[in-house]
């Protein structure tokens, strides 16, 4: 039981980082996108491949995951330089579909539908991480560092400019701000964090396959941000916790085994709809 | 050397010539009025100068340098600031944060964002506060900009613009939509800015405002410069009056 709970907490930590990375775009900057699983997945694959092929282990893989996540994000940022609103959502959806297609079909690199197995577990100064408690300690430490740096950044003048651009893109330009460069930077930052969380995922599950990185995964993370509250780091964390815990809690409902799957899905959907109606600004009332 | 010079600037939108072959030199006087009926091309002229639209023809010179086609943020950094015809403040930010946004230090630089210490930040706040004091909004510094009145939001746009430190200010109908009692603070601010040595171009429909602020005015109609002179000369010109009021009434009717 303890192992089970610790495992859930590790998963929450990974997805909280991913939700935070998406919230940088959606919540802080007003760039509505659904391609986070493309960056998360690219990071996961890059990390898996590097650690499997080179023996650089989790840390080498994480660096690769960060770099590849950032690179994919800079590609994904291109539409945002020209279009916004609905068109941006659509364009990012395209990015998501393309990358899922690549994961699925680049057999030689990604292992195709079968994915990649046997991804090594992390080690730290020769001490190998393999129990959920050790994973939780390592991943929480990483997450705390990232969140601390991000919160400092978001509270700075850089964060102020992000919030301004969210409201109005033209006035900041008239005030001498390079809005395009700001957008590229926030995409790259978001992709780097998503890539890192992908790497953490890969080295925790020790197996990656395309279905973990499809459009449902992107929507799942978007739901975390919306439920928790946009534009607040805590909201993204809370949203991740709720959406990971919810199915686990529903699993304990006394339902007949046959109908369990569909009923869980329905309850899950209803709770999401309820949150959207009752708390349109998310549970931690960020911006609407 | 003139501060700002337009040389045969034109802009058409599809078949519509919004600005045709306009040549004006700004900077000979401190505050120049830009008047003309609705649709004359005044706002479009600002958009051409500030790089929001590329002109279809002609050149924009600033301190003798060709700035035609520069991106808006480059034009701003060179020293041309503007306000917009509609009130555009950042309603979800505080008054103080709005004023900080104008400062050049508030940028997309991650390292500045991460490394700026408490002291550096205080210094920015201090400068933002000064600009708020200038427009007499310092007592509302920590309120949300959306909680300000319309007139106060117009003043806040000035405070924000001042942070940029631009030498030339293009003001698009700063007094429009204000009742005459709140004209005072806005006009005082504009006159003081002129007194501080800024070159100001003021678009305004209210001729009393033009008369009280400007030493020189340019009359624009259907995208062309019709006449240049002192505000008094333009106001007393019956032909311009007909052009102006004919069109203003035509639009308002
Ligand atoms: N982005 C645009 N696309 C198409 N037409 C435009 C655009 N901007 C301006 N116009 C047209 O150009 C002409 C000049 O408009 P502009 O806004 O410059 O006038 P103005 O002198 O500022 O008028 P007002 O006093 O009403 O503000 C108008 O006919 C307007 O419809
Ligand atoms: Mg106008």
Q: How confident is the model at residue A192 (pLDDT cuts 50, 70, 90)?
A: very high
Q: How many CB pairs under 8 A join A and B?
A: 101
Parallel, antiparallel, or unpaired: how do β-strands B168-172 and B199-203 relate? Answer: parallel
Residue A137 pLDDT more than 80? yes
Considering only the beta carbons, identify the residue of B73, B84, B112 that sits closest to A157: B112
pLDDT in tens, A139-186: 999 999 999 999 999 988 899 999 999 999 999 999 999 999 999 999
User: Residues of B with CB below 8 A from A181's CB?
Assistant: 108
CA distance B154 to B174: 7
pLDDT in tens, A256-285: 666 666 776 777 778 778 877 777 777 776
Q: ipTM, 2 decimals?
A: 0.91
Per the CB < 8 A criterion, the answer to whether B222 and B41 are in contact is yes
pLDDT in tens, A60-92: 999 999 999 999 999 989 888 887 778 888 899
- Of A238, A211, A209, A206, nearest in space to A225 by CA: A238
Comparing B15-19, B88-92, B174-178, which segment has the lowest mean pLDDT? B174-178
Residue A159's pLDDT is: 92
Farthest CA pair distance, chain B: 62
User: Residues of B with CB below 8 A from A148's CB?
Assistant: none
- Report percent pLDDT > 70 for chain A: 95
Total-model pTM: 0.90
Residue A257's pLDDT is: 63
Q: Any residues with CB less than 8 A from the CB of B11 and at least 6 apart, and which?
A: B17, B18, B19, B41, B44, B48, B53, B55, B56, B223
The closest residue, in CA terms, to atom 10 on ligand 1 is: B18
Q: How far is CA A253 from CA A5, A245, A256, B55, in A?
A: 17, 13, 9, 67
pLDDT in tens, B22-64: 999 998 668 999 999 999 999 999 999 999 999 999 999 999 9
- Report percent pLDDT > 90 for chain A: 59
**Which of the listed ranges A81-85, B28-32, B123-127, B192-196 does the model predict with the highest average pLDDT?**
B123-127
Mutate which: A175, A182, A287, vs B, most B CBs within 10 A: A175
**What domains lie within chain B, and their CATH numbers?**
4-89+148-249 (3.40.50.300)
Ligand nearest to the CA of B83: 2
H or E segment and range at residue A187: helix A179-205
H or E segment and range at residue B11: strand B4-13
Mutate which: B47, B73, B91, vs A, most A CBs within 10 A: B73
pLDDT in tens, A17-63: 999 999 999 999 989 899 999 999 999 999 999 999 998 889 999 99
């Amino acid at each position: 039981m303890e192992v089970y709970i610790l495992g859930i907490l590790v998963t929450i930590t990974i997805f909280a980082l991913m939700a935070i990375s998406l919230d940088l775009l959606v919540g802080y900057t007003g760039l509505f996108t659904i391609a986070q699983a493309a960056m998360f997945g690219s990071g996961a694959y890059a990390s898996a491949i590097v650690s499997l092929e080179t023996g650089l282990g989790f840390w080498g893989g994480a660096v690769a995951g960060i770099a590849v996540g950032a690179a994919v994000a800079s590609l994904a940022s291109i539409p945002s330089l020209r279009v916004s609103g609905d068109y941006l959502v659509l364009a990012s959806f395209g990015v998501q579909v393309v990358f899922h297609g690549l994961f699925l079909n680049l057999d030689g690199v990604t292992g195709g539908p079968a994915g990649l197995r046997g991804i090594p577990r992390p080690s730290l100064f020769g001490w190998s991480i393999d129990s959920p408690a050790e994973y939780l300690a390592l991943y929480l430490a990483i997450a705390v560092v990232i969140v601390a740096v991000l919160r400092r950044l978001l509270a700075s003048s850089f964060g102020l400019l992000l919030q301004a651009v969210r409201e109005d893109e033209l006035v900041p330009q008239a005030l001498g701000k390079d809005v395009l460069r700001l957008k590229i930077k926030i995409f790259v930052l978001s992709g780097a964090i998503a890539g890192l969380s992908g790497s953490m995922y890969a080295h925790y599950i020790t197996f990656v396959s395309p279905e973990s990185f499809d459009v449902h995964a992107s929507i799942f993370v978007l739901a975390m941000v919306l439920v928790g509250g946009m534009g607040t780091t805590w909201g993204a964390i809370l949203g991740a916790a709720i959406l990971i815990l919810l199915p686990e809690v529903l699993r304990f409902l006394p339902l007949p085994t046959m109908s369990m799957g569909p009923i869980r899905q329905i309850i899950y959907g209803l709770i999401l709809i309820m949150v959207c109606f009752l708390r349109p600004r998310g549970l931690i009332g960020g911006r609407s | 050397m003139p501060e700002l010079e337009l040389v045969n600037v034109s802009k058409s939108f599809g078949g519509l010539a919004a600005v045709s072959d306009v040549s004006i030199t700004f900077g000979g006087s401190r505050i120049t009025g830009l008047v003309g009926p609705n649709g004359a091309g005044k706002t479009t002229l600002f958009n051409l100068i500030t790089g929001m639209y590329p002109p279809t023809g002609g050149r924009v010179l600033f301190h003798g340098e060709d700035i035609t086609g520069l991106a808006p943020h480059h034009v701003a950094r060179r020293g041309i600031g503007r306000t917009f015809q509609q009130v555009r403040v950042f309603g979800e930010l505080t008054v103080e944060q709005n004023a900080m946004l104008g400062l050049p230090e508030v940028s997309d630089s991650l390292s500045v964002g991460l490394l700026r210490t408490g002291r550096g930040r205080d210094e920015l706040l201090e400068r933002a506060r000064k600009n708020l004091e200038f427009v007499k909004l310092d007592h509302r510094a920590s309120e949300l900009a959306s909680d300000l009145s319309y007139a106060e939001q117009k003043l806040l746009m000035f405070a924000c613009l001042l942070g940029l430190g631009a030498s030339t200010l293009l003001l698009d109908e700063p007094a429009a939509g204000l009742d005459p009692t709140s004209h005072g603070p806005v006009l005082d601010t504009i006159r003081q800015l002129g007194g501080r040595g800024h070159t100001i171009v003021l678009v305004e429909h209210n001729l009393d405002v033009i008369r009280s602020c400007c030493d020189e005015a340019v009359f624009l109609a259907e995208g062309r410069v019709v006449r240049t002179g002192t505000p008094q000369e333009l106001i007393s010109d019956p032909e311009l009056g007909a052009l102006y009021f004919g069109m203003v009434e035509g639009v308002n009717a």
